[in-house]
Structure 1
Amino acid sequence: MTEEKDPKYRNLLLGILFDGIGMLSFAIPGIGEFSDVIWAPIAGWLMTRLYKGRVGQAAGLITFAEELIPGMDVVPTFTLTWIYTYLLSKKKSNK
């Protein structure tokens, strides 16, 4: 059994989970927006742990801001970062 060095699918599963957690604030009107104040820095930090380098730093800042802005919780930043990292940037580097 070989162990995969690239955390590609682990990052996808964790990203979907973290996006779901971020969207939970819609389930609790009023209290949900307060929870974003707590979740925003955690989500930003988690993003920098999942994706290293400039991509992780930029995505961490975007995630932090997205979680703080009311109504923006529906944007799946973790999943979009995965798509950029593993699908879009790979196509650019192959050209």
Structure 2
Amino acid sequence: MKKYQKLIISLLCDGLGYVSFIFPPFDFIWAPLSAYFMTKLYKGKEGRVAAVITFVEEALPFFDVIPTFSLMWLYTYVLKPEKKTTIKA
């Protein structure tokens, strides 16, 4: 999946998180789903850690304003330090 496709999906997932302001019981459905989607969008240890954070953020009241998916995209494609490769002689 291309990085800008992930950005669009991340923005949509963050938008779905705001539904609970209108319909609070939506968090019971969205919290586990958002954690699952996070692990599918972002692989590895970072994705699993982000999934736990997303689950907690969506499950707790009044924390839904944090755009967790978008922040993870920013971390992955803008802020994350690149892995250095070393060449042995």
Q: What TM-score, normalized by structure 1, do the two folds share?
A: 0.83
What letter matches 1:12 in structure 2? Answer: L
Pairwise CA distance, 1:94: 7.0
User: Is structure 2 residue 10 aligned with structure 1 residue 15?
Assistant: yes
Q: What RMSD over aligned residues (CA atoms) do the two structures have, in Å?
A: 1.4
Letter matched to residue 10 of structure 1: Q
SS of residue in 2 equivalent to 1:33? coil
* Alignment partner, residue 59 of structure 2: 68
Moved over 3 A (4+): none
Per-residue CA deviation, residues 53-92 of structure 1 (Å, 9 max, x unaligned), is 0111001110000000000111000000000000000xx2
Identity of aligned residues (%): 49
Please give the per-residue CA displacement for 1:16-73, whole angstroms capped at 9, x wherever unaligned. 00000011111x2xxx221101100000000000000011100111000000000011
Measured after TM superposition, the shift of residue 11 of structure 1 is: 0.6
Task: Show structure 1 runs of 5+ residues with no match.
Answer: 1-5
* Aligned residue-pair number: 84
Larger helix proportion of the pair: 1
Alignment partner of 2:72 out of 56, 81, 84: 81
Normalising to structure 2: TM-score of the pair?
0.88
SS in 2 for 1:93: coil
- Structure 2 portions without partners, runs of 5+: 85-89
2:34 match: 43
